[in-house]
Amino acid sequence: MVISFYGEGCFKIQSGELVILTDPPAKESGLGPPRFKFNLLLKTLSAFPPEAKSSYELVGPGEYNFKIADKEVDIEGLFLEKESTDKFIKTIYLVN
C-alpha cells in the first residue's frame, strides 16, 4: 500500500490497481487538483444532508461495498457527532 499526501486533507491511497482519493482541495485553496485517475472518492466533510455527485463518490456515514479490479472493497463511514453541526457533517471511513 502506498499513501501520498497532496496538501490539506487530500490523500491518494493505492493498493495495486485500486486508487482511493480523499478530500481533494477546493479551488479557493490555490492548490491544483490531483492529476491521476482514481476508483473511489471519499469526502470526510460534506454539507447536510450529504449528497454524492457520482457513483464513485462516498459522502456521509453508511456501509458501502464495491468490486474494483477483481477486488472486494468494504467501506464503513462513521458519523463524527461532536465535530458536526446542523449545516455540515464529518465522517471517518474504515476501508477493508
- 35 pairs with which residues across the strands? none
Listed in sequence order, the residues at least 6 apart from 31 whose beta carbon sits closer than 8 Å to its beta carbon are 6, 7, 8, 10, 25
Q: Which CATH architecture has domain 2-95?
A: 4-Layer Sandwich (3.60)
pLDDT the model gives residue 4: 93
pLDDT tens digits in sequence order for the chain, 96 residues long: 999 998 888 999 998 888 999 998 877 777 777 888 999 999 998 887 777 787 788 888 999 998 887 788 999 999 998 888 888 899 999 998
- Which SS3 state, helix, strand or coil, does residue 49 take? coil
pLDDT the model gives residue 17: 87
